[in-house]
Amino acid sequence: MELDKDADEVVKELGKTVAKEAWEKKNRLLPLIKSLGRFFRPSPVPESQGSETPPEPPRGILILGPGGTGKTTLARFLSGDVNVLIDPPGYYVPSFSVESVPLLDAPGVELVVMPGQGYRLQPEFGKLTSELVRGAYRGLILAVDYGYHAIESEWSREHKLYHGNKKEFIANLLVSQRQEELDLLDKLIPSLNAITQRMWLLVVVLKQDLWSSQQATVKRHYEDGAWGVKMNQVVIAHNSNLLCQRTAYASLHIQNYTTRGGRDTLKKNTAGYDATRQRQSLVELFQVIDALREWEDQV
Ligand SMILES: Nc1nc2c(ncn2[C@@H]2O[C@H](COP(=O)(O)OP(=O)(O)OP(=O)(O)O)[C@@H](O)[C@H]2O)c(=O)[nH]1
Ligand SMILES: [Mg+2]
């Protein structure tokens, strides 16, 4: 009995420490979230002095990635529309067309988010790659998640990869969706190789709460594994003054991996991945974004 009481005390103390740490991180994070708007807002376009030609519109930021990786969630977070520290996660609602997410504190400036599902992205692809090459965007964010893309099926058995065994289905799904990430990168590489205007490229590996027990494997994959090898070739093809590439790992929500509408749980989020870890991942994301800001400032 005495032992139970002691254990209870220890758990309570631990709970207090975690809550305090999470709170301190939140207080550090809120001003950082506010300052994001300043980065995503491009420098003001100089007034045209007496010239007849109107000023060039500001170069935008494009967000791309396979369906269900978290692009809309990321755009709404970066724009200030959603505060992931306060607002609860929602179930997956696929985007049907190109979304423009305005920055709350800079009306007129938008993050352009492409729909991810292949058949919805395909009609936009030609236009998008020619815009990339001609320098319409000052930054490109590639959203990936080590294959944990949200799926459109409501039940596992409705998915084309389901052949009667749920465990096998999930394993095949993750492999196949990681391949989708690589296929999209392959399709983009010719345009990335052809850029002629300064641009940064941020790879955000989302859903850390789902894969954090494989942290080392995931980092290897994106840094020098199947994805990293392709990306590094793009980077070395350019002068570092022209292209700046960074990778960040983050969790915007802590949410089990489910089929659409939360009907069927495919994987629970990693035990031990708590609010403190999530906030730490967001601090790291901000540090990476800050490095991009510094690169933009060095002209
Ligand atoms: N576990 C977890 N879920 C996340 C995270 N970020 C986003 N999600 C969830 O992933 C699902 C898909 O997110 P969306 O932002 O709609 O994905 P999308 O890339 O815009 O999808 P499409 O519009 O179809 O291309 C949603 O249910 C989000 O709540 C995360 O860091 N962890
Ligand atoms: Mg979307």
Q: How far apart are CA 283 and CA 285, in angstroms?
A: 5
How much is the pLDDT for 78? 86
pTM above 0.75, yes or no: yes
Phi, psi at 63, each rounded to 5°:
-115, 125
- Report which bound ligand comes closest to the CA of 65: 1
* Site residues for ligand 1, CB cut-off 6 Å: 65, 67-73, 89-95, 115-117, 143, 150, 206-207, 209-210, 251-253, 255, 269
- The pLDDT of residue 238 is above 60: yes
Please identify, by atom number, the ligand 1 atom nearest to the C-alpha of residue 95: 23
- Mean pLDDT of all residues in 249-262: 96
Quote the crossing angle between the two packed helices 226-236 and 166-193, to the nearest 10°. Answer: 10
Say what the pLDDT of residue 135 is: 92
User: Which residues does residue 245 pair with via DSSP β-bridges, in sequence order?
Assistant: 201
CA distance 146 to 170: 13
Distance from the CA of 55 to the center of ligand 2, in angstroms? 31
Distance 252 CA to ligand 1 centre (A): 9
Residue 210: per-residue pLDDT: 98
Single-letter amino acid code for the residue at 283: V
pLDDT higher than 60, residue 244:
yes
Residue 81: per-residue pLDDT: 79
Mean of pLDDT values over 50-62 = 69
The amino acid at 53:
T
Reported as a pLDDT band with limits 50, 70 and 90, residue 6 is: confident
Please report which ligand is nearest the Cα atom of 81: 1
pLDDT of residue 124: 86
Min mean pLDDT across 3-17, 191-205, 245-259, 280-294 is at: 3-17
Give the pLDDT mean for 247-259.
97
pLDDT band of 59, cuts 50, 70, 90: confident
| Structure confidence at residue 115 as a pLDDT band (50, 70, 90) | confident
| CATH no. for 58-297 | 3.40.50.300
Q: 34 falls in which pLDDT band (50, 70, 90)?
A: low
Query: What per-residue string of b and e applies to 143-171 under the rule 16 or more CB within 10 Å gives b?
Result: bbbbbbbbbebeebeebebbeeeeeebbe
Which of 71, 73, 87, 181, when mutated, tests ligand 1's pocket best, judged by the most ligand atoms within 8 Å of its CB?
73
- pLDDT confidence of residue 47: 54
**pLDDT, tens only, 170-211:** 999 999 999 999 999 999 999 999 999 999 999 999 999 999
Residue with tokens 């409705």: 158
Q: Which string of b and e fits 222-254 if b means at least 16 CB within 10 Å?
A: beeeebbeebeebeeebeeeebbbebbbbbbbb
The span from the CA of 246 to the CA of 236, in Å, is 13
